Chain A
Amino acid sequence: MATELRMPQMGYDMEEGTVVKWLVQEGETVKRNAPIAEIETDKAVVEFETETEGTILKILASEGSVIPVGQTIVVVGSEGEEFTITEPLQVTEDSDTPVTENVEISNKIPEISENNVATDPEITPSSIIASPIARKLAEDLGIPLSKIQGSGPNGRITKTDVENFQDSDDEQVSETISTTPETTQAPPEVTPVKSSSNNSPSDKQPLSRMRQQIARVTVKSKSEKPHFYVSAEIDMTRAMALRKQINEQLSPEGVKITVNDLIVKASIETLKKFPKFNAYYEEDGIVYNDSINIAIAISDDEGLIVPAILDCGDKSLRQISQMVKDLAQRSSNGTLSPQEYTGGTFAISNLGMYDVTSFVAIIHPPQSAVLAVGTVTEKPVVKDGEIVIAQTMVGTISADHRIVDGAEGAEFLVAVKSLLENPMSMVV
């Protein structure tokens, strides 16, 4: 039976992806999990794997086309097999002729295949809430509603949303052009060249896709999740000493534990005791994640990503250190997997490399908490009635009040603090 493979949702908030390049041709035979295309999301180019083996029967999305999540892009099946696809392909951008390619649309009841890549089949034009004028305007301008974020009640797409989208459309076009289909690297930062005839305000810089994404995600988080914050000063003296000792002894083996590794490890151990911080909120209940995936905020010139080390609940400090290092490396060369991009269950944001005391972070949806840590600094503290010099760091947990309350936040943070102040238990 032929299987439709659809544009996967590879990121929270991902609504569409660009088919950068096909790695296979029609008629070619593919094995299960073989990479068949390169797909560009808001953040990176990733390989798209087939979840079913067989023959590539029909490639529906041309290279460079932007396809809404959930839309069929390729059909895989047995050679010579007759097939029908459940819906016409809507190419949303790309060419000046909006193509609607109908491939043998029959009146059969659409087949629902379990082999389909995880998608959101709900995103169809009729299920999008948009005002009449927004629909009309979008149609006149040739803008697919699925690309527009609604700002009205119930997420309704309003006239203003379409107009704003139209205003930014020129930038998007230039961006698509600047991304050459051959490259597998993250899209270059868009620095639009302003023509002198452009009478828009000269100091306005168009938003890159990543900037738009960050804007959407942070606004959504802050408007949906009631954040609260708990801070504590953590004495890192022992942790710093332990780290020094480990690194001195194990450097021949290539081990270099960072302060962040210790914080990751302490968070993992604490999350085991407080699983609510590793869960997320839904309208009808709290969803507990099976595994602990620690997301790490990584910033670069373009902006910020929060990829995760996956299933690290039973990993040693040494393994964690290696995983984090690997994650950072692959994020810089754009080879993270979709799961790493989106699978985080708890996040750590560390600005310790800057001389900042403390800060509060925004929770990365759908997660429920993020730990923000500042720099480790030497300062006088009182211990046993004596003033001594200690290395301290301020940690601040931001948590979703719909799941946990202030007291739980305090207990969680104190547990992290306790582990970092008595770090031996994390390595033995």
Chain B
Amino acid sequence: MSEMILRDAMSKALREALDQDDRVFLMGEDIGAYGGAYAVTKGFLEEYGEERIRDTPISESVFVGAGAGAAMIGMRPIVEVMTINFTLVAIDQIVNHAAKLSYMSNGQFKVPLILRTVTGGGGQLAATHSQSFENWYASVPGLKVVVPATPYDALGLFRASRKDNNPIIFAEHAMLYRVRGEVPEEYYEIPLGKARIAQEGSDVTLIAYSGMVKVAEEAAEIFYRNDISAEVIDLRTLSPLDLETLVNSVKKTSRAVVIEETWKTGGFSGSIASDIQEAAFDFLDGPVLRINGPDVPAPYAKNLEQLMIPKASWIVDQVKYNFGL
């Protein structure tokens, strides 16, 4: 067992892929000569060469489409879009092509494309560079959406993603690259679609993913000091969604809060909250709460930006008010 930060866990995952599978190649903006906008592929170009570590022009539609095409003919491309904000340029390739090709060709084509990208705000990158769109992609059939919160999960989920024959949005949170955690030496995988109970509890279920898991854990710590036992669930993947684990937890606690960084309107938390109340209505002791960022563009100013990212105190206040705990 060794400790590493999430960035290093991702580098390890990519090296493994390159080392173990000749069909794997990396493609994206600044991943080669520059070493990656978030330095995940630092040194890769020297090690693996230009053919497998391919710098692309600033043309997301082209290189995402090229990745999908390569996947169709048997390669295992790992395409990096610098941030999820830029995937909008390639959204037609992702939603109308990569996600649909297997279905529309009656399974004649598979698109085993891993689209790595960086999500989330908090880095003062302003309104167009601080968004979280993984919830959008999670609503598209044909795509899988992976949202790790720890180094252990990042590596384990990536390994499982490599074996999957569907296009995958692998969204790494910008603020989590320096998060440290234990990663075993021995090989392991984490199946897609299996949520993690990050902390067991009996009074309230806090459901989160990606950057919000640590916020939920902070809230659980506050609850703990107030004799309230919170169960924290890390979704790990939005699609497939492990509803079973959520419903079992809510049946136990009777109270649920879904925490998500992005805007409340249209947030994936709404879909989850709805699923929970449909499946566990008779077990609920209050409304399924949603904690999301407010419906505003991300401000640049640090103090204002922080005001729109959910905090543990928001969770605590809402839980206390709505559940009388």
Which residues of A are at the interface with B, using a C-beta cutoff of 8 A?
131-136, 151-153, 156, 158-160
CB pair A156–B282 under 8 Å, yes or no, is: no
Shortest 6 CB-CB distances between A and B: which pairs?
A: A152-B324, A131-B285, A159-B285, A133-B254, A136-B282, A133-B285
Smallest distance from the beta carbon of A225 to chain B beta carbons, Å? 20
A153, B324: Cβ atoms closer than 8 Å: yes
Bound Cα distance A156, B322 (Å): 10
Contacts beyond the supplied A153-B321, A153-B324, A159-B254: 18 A-B pairs with Cβ under 8 Å: A131-B254, A131-B284, A132-B281, A132-B282, A132-B283, A133-B282, A134-B285, A135-B282, A136-B282, A152-B286, A152-B324, A153-B286, A153-B322, A156-B324, A158-B285, A158-B286, A159-B285, A160-B285
Which secondary structure dominates chain A's binding surface? helix
| Contact sample, A vs B, 12 pairs, CB 8 Å cutoff | A131-B286, A132-B283, A132-B284, A133-B283, A134-B285, A136-B283, A151-B324, A152-B322, A153-B324, A156-B324, A158-B324, A159-B285
Which single residue of chain A is at the shortest CB-CB distance from B251? A133
Query: In chain A, what residue has the closest Cβ to B325?
Result: A160
**CB neighbours of B283 from chain A (8 A):** 132-133, 136
B323 part of interface (Cβ distance < 8 Å): yes
Complex Cα distance, B232 from A313, in Å, reads 63
- Residues 178-199 of B, flagged 1 when their CB comes within 8 A of A and 0 if not, give 0000000000000000000000
Min Cβ gap B283→A in Å is 5
Give the residues in chain B near A135, CB-CB below 8 Å.
282
Contact B254 A152 (CB under 8 A): no
Across-interface contacts of B286 in A (CB, < 8 A): 131, 152-153, 156, 158
Map CB proximity to A onto B272-297 as digits: 1 under 8 Å, 0 otherwise: 00000000011111100000000000
**How many residues in B have their beta carbons less than 8 Å from beta carbons of A?**
11
Q: Cβ of A132: which chain B residues have Cβ within 8 Å of it?
A: 281-285
Q: Which residue of A lies closest to B281 (CB)?
A: A132
- How distant is the Cα of A159 from the Cα of B282 in the complex, in angstroms? 11
Question: What B residues does A153 contact at CB under 8 A?
Answer: 286, 321-322, 324
B285 proximity list for chain A (CB < 8 A): 131-134, 152, 158-160
Near A by CB (< 8 A), chain B positions 298-325 give 321-324
The CA-CA distance from A136 to B251 in the complex, in Å, is 12
For the complex, what is the distance from the CA of A132 to the CA of B322, rounded to whole Å? 14
Residues of B with C-beta under 8 A to A160? 285, 324
Contact surface of B with A, Cβ cutoff 8 Å: 254, 281-286, 321-324
Docked pose: A156 CA to B323 CA in angstroms: 9
Q: A135–B285 Cα gap in the complex (Å)?
A: 9
A133 contact set on B, CB distance < 8 A: 254, 282-285
**Nearest-CB residue, chain A, relative to B321:** A153
- Shortest C-beta distance, B265 to chain A (Å), equals 23
What residues of chain B lie closer than 8 Å to A156, measured between beta carbons?
A: 286, 324
Give the residues in chain A near B254, CB-CB below 8 Å: 131, 133, 159
CA–CA, A136 and B323, complex, Å: 17
What's the Cα separation between A316 and B165 when bound, in Å?
96
CA of A360 to CA of B285, assembled, Å: 38
A263 to chain B, nearest CB (A): 40
Q: How far is the CA of A159 from the CA of B251 in the complex (A)?
A: 12
> Shortest beta-carbon distance, A138 to chain B, in Å?
12
Q: How distant is the Cα of A152 from the Cα of B254 in the complex, in angstroms?
A: 14
Query: What's the minimum C-beta distance from B288 to chain A, rounded to whole angstroms?
Result: 11
Highest count of chain B CB atoms <10 Å: which of A132, A134, A151, A156: A132
Q: What are the residues of chain A within 8 A of B282 when measuring CB–CB?
A: 132-133, 135-136
| Shortest CB distance A184–B (Å) | 40
A135, A156, A159: residue with the most chain B Cβ atoms closer than 10 Å: A159
CA of A159 to CA of B204 in the docked complex: distance in angstroms? 12
A121-B323 Cα distance, complex, nearest whole Å: 28
CA distance A135 to B286 in the complex (A): 12
Q: How far is A48 from B199 in the complex, measured between Cα atoms in Å? A: 57
CB distance from B277 to the nearest CB of A (A): 9
Chain B residues with CB under 8 Å of A159's CB are: 254, 285
- Chain A nearest CB from B85 CB (Å) reads 38
A137 to chain B, nearest CB (A): 9
Closest to B287 in A: A131
B223 smallest CB distance to A (angstroms)? 15
Q: How far is the CA of A152 from the CA of B324 in the complex (A)?
A: 5
Minimum Cβ distance to chain A for residue B273 (Å): 14
Distance from A130 Cβ to chain B, minimum over Cβ atoms (Å): 9
- Residues of the A chain whose Cβ atoms lie less than 8 Å from the Cβ of B323: 152, 158
The CA of A176 and the CA of B81, in the complex, are separated in Å by 72
Inter-chain contacts of A136 with B (CB < 8 A): 282-283
Least distance between B285 CB and chain A CB atoms (Å)? 4
Scoring B286, B321, B322 by chain A CB atoms within 10 A of each residue's CB, the highest score goes to B286
Alpha-carbon distance between A301 and B286 when the two chains are bound, in angstroms: 40
Minimum C-beta distance from A64 to chain B (A): 33
- Please give, as numbers and ranges, the residues of chain A lying within 8 Å of B322 by CB-CB distance: 152-153
Query: A195 to B281, alpha carbons, bound, how many Å?
Result: 39
In the complex, what distance in Å separates the CA atom of A151 from the CA atom of B285?
12
Nearest-Cβ distance from residue B166 to partner chain A, whole angstroms = 37
A139 nearest in chain B by CB position: B282
Give chain B residues whose Cβ lies under 8 Å from the Cβ of A131. Answer: 254, 284-286
A354 to chain B, nearest CB (A): 37
**Smallest distance from the beta carbon of B38 to chain A beta carbons, Å?**
43
Which residues of the partner chain A approach B284 to less than 8 Å between Cβ atoms? 131-133
- A389–B286 Cα distance when bound, in Å, is 63
Q: In the assembly, what is the distance between CA of A158 and CA of B287, in Å?
A: 11
Contacting residues, chain B, for A134 (C-beta < 8 A) = 285
Q: Report the nearest B residue to A162, measured CB to CB.
A: B285
User: Would you give the shortest CB distance from B279 to chain A, in whole angstroms?
Assistant: 12
Q: Compute how far the CA of A244 lies from the CA of B266 in the bound complex, rounded to whole angstroms.
A: 80
B90: shortest Cβ distance to chain A, in Å? 44
Residues of A close to B281: CB separation below 8 A: 132
Q: In the bound complex, how far is the Cα of B283 from the Cα of A151, in angstroms?
A: 18
In the bound complex, what is the Cα–Cα distance between A158 and B254 (angstroms)? Answer: 10
Min distance, Cβ A290 to any Cβ of chain B, angstroms:
38
Which of B281, B321, B323 gathers the greatest number of chain A CB atoms within 10 Å? B323
Give, as a whole number of angstroms, the nearest-CB distance from B49 to chain A.
60
CB of A2 to closest CB in B, whole Å = 39
Cα distance A158–B285 in the bound complex, in angstroms: 6
B-chain residues with CB within 8 Å of residue A151 when the two chains form the complex? 324
| Distance between Cα atoms of A131 and B284 in the complex (Å) | 7
Residue of B nearest to A161 (CB): B324
Shortest CB distance A136–B (Å): 5
Assembled-state Cα–Cα distance A160/B284 (Å): 12
Query: Closest CB-CB distance, B32 to chain A, in whole Å?
Result: 56
Residue of A nearest to B324 (CB): A152
